[in-house]
Amino acid sequence: MAKLKELAAQEEKFTGGHRGCAGCGASIIARQVLMAAENPVVVGASTGCLEVFSTIYPYTAWNVPYIHNAFENVAATMAGVETAYKALKKKGKIKKDLRFIAFGGDGGTYDIGIQALSGMIERRHRVLYVCYNNEAYMNTGIQRSSATPRGAHTTTSPAGKVIPGKMQLRKNFTEIIIAHEPAYAAQATFGFWNDLVTKVRKALDADGPSFINVYAPCRLGWAYAPEKTVKVSKMSVETCIWPLYEYQDRKYRITVKPKEKKPITEFLKMQGRFGHLFKWKDDVPIKEYQAEVDAIWERLLKRSETE
């Protein structure tokens, strides 16, 4: 387990002074992930919130070698960088033991970048892919993505008198990645920082491709006060809307179990994007969402117990 004093004493690899919103989950994730890295790292980031607010010319928040890519190809680019590194190290031109991290939002991961990410894992590149998952295309106007949960209001799945926000289930992307049999995969969120840091270190030590899906509350798109970011992050775990688990050596392990599993309404009521559900003519949307969360949690419990 990571020690807070040791992490705090490190030189910052992702610095302050960037243009992220107050209470931005993505910036907290980038900082925590890089604090966890014990080897020198090379970072790639797809187009999105994290890239835009951290690299406004002529400034950068990245105190490590950094590559910016389009929405769809950060996994492919970092696979190429990792391959070049192995070739140069084999020739004796590089002596350092480097690690490689790719960052992408849910839009650039679940949707636009899934092909490149799938290929990166299938070819077994030793790259850690971190998805900062804020459940919509926040950088371009809060449009729905396939990570957007049922019932959420976005600019392209607006809640009205007829439709209560997004009608479809969100994509269970972590399980899609697990189907690729990576060296390591996990779900995390920054409200449980030690869990996240521990998982990053496991992923970077794994001998092969790794993936961490990190829940990234967005105070703008989710509509809550900036100072509530960490509370929202923690409540996602306490309601099992975002279970914290890992997959390694073909085994599941739940890493944080809520002492008391709270109803999802405790999470939903913290955010404006779900406010309309409490005013709906019946409570069917909330019941359907609760049933979905319960089913996924129960399935995860069974997998963790039997595998």
**250-270 pLDDT tens trace:** 999 999 999 999 999 999 999
Q: Which two tokens stand for residue 24?
A: 């931005």
For the chain, the C-alpha Rg in angstroms (whole number) is 19
Give the pLDDT of residue 2: 72
Cβ neighbours for 97, distance < 8 A, ≥ 6 positions apart: 39, 40
As a CATH number, domain 4-306 is 3.40.50.970
pLDDT at 1: 67
Q: How many CB atoms lie within 10 A of CB 269?
A: 12
What are the CA-CA distances from residue 113 to residues 70, 122, 155, 178 (Å)? 9, 14, 22, 16
How far from each other are the two terminal CA atoms of the chain, in whole angstroms? 23
Please report, for the chain, the start and end positions of each structural domain, with discontinuous segments joined by +: 4-306
| ω into 40 cis (within 30 of 0) | no
**pLDDT (tens digit, 9 = 90+) per residue, 128-151?**
999 999 999 999 999 999 999 999
Q: Kind and range of the H or E element at 300?
A: helix 284-306
User: What pTM was computed for the model?
Assistant: 0.96
